[in-house]
Amino acid sequence: MIVAERPSTVTRGVRRSGDDPWVTPPELHDFFVASAGVAGALIGLLFVAVSVAHERLTAEGAEFAHQVRASAALTSFTNALSISLFALVPGVGLAQTAIVVGGLGLVFVAATLVSFARVRRAQVVSWPDLFFLVGLVITFGLEVAAGWMLAARGHDQQPADTIAVVVIVSFLIGIARSWELVGGPSFVLFSEIRALVMSMRETRDQSDPDR
């Protein structure tokens, strides 16, 4: 009697990227499972931080930079969560998710830049906030580009790995923005060196008032 051989099952609905350019490589399955859990937890903590700083964010005359930091943190964490969850859906995968989610991230940056142009006369916009927006542009741009490459060359592991790295970078950006949102201390090397030099100069002047 001939027994039909059962087709090989794919771990939790994830197929080989070489079979279909739209699906998630199985090597990244565990990574996206873990990152989805991390993103969900961080978004929950962000909501707690926003509730603590609610008055500072919503009061009349609230500093625009705080609002941008809260929105940027939520966008970064949502980006990581969306990619991680959709990457685990059978038949959906990374390519189109990276293109759509990365595109939405670029729309957020564009809207933020328009808002900056609107409020720049009323409020001071710091250079670090602008640098963070440039970082978001690079991050989301790489995400979209990697999504297109994965769609065109599904057998290539490198675009999928790039998207995974972008997820990690999104976590780091979101954490940095959240830390600034809650008013955590920031230690910048050049600022600390400048403060040290000024402190030494003041100490020297006090010890030698005739100079």
Using H for helix, E for strand and C for coil, what is the string for the chain?
CCCCCCCCCCHHHCCCCCCCCCCCCHHHHHHHHHHHHHHHHHHHHHHHHHHHCHHHHHCCCCCHHHHHHHHHHHHHHHHHHHHHHHHCCCCCCCHHHHHHHHHHHHHHHHHHHHHHHHHCCCCCCCHHHHHHHHHHHHHHHHHHHHHHHHHHCCCCHHHHHHHHHHHHHHHHHHHHHHHHHCCCCCCCHHHHHHHHHHHHHHHHHHHCCCC
Is the predicted pLDDT of residue 211 greater than 60, yes or no? Answer: no
**What is the reported pTM?**
0.71
Q: In which band, very low, low, confident or very high, does the pLDDT at 186 lie, cut at 50, 70 and 90? A: low
Please tell me the least confidently modeled range out of 82-91, 107-116, 149-158. 149-158
At residue 14, the pLDDT reads: 40
Please report which confidence band the pLDDT of residue 124 belongs to, taking 50, 70 and 90 as the band edges.
low
pLDDT at 54: 64
Query: Has residue 108 got a pLDDT over 70?
Result: yes
Determine the average pLDDT of the residues in 135-141: 91
Q: What is the pLDDT of residue 107?
A: 93
Average pLDDT over the chain, rounded to an integer = 76
> What is the band of 3 on the pLDDT scale with cuts at 50, 70, 90?
very low
- pLDDT value for 142: 94
Q: What pLDDT is recorded for position 176?
A: 84
Q: Is the pLDDT of residue 115 over 90?
A: no
> Does residue 172 register a pLDDT over 70?
yes
- pLDDT value at position 96? 87
For residue 152, pLDDT beyond 80 = yes
pLDDT of 25 above 60 = yes
Mean pLDDT, residues 128-136: 79
Check whether 196 has a pLDDT greater than 60. Answer: yes
pLDDT at residue 99 is higher than 60:
yes
Would you state the pLDDT for residue 57? 58
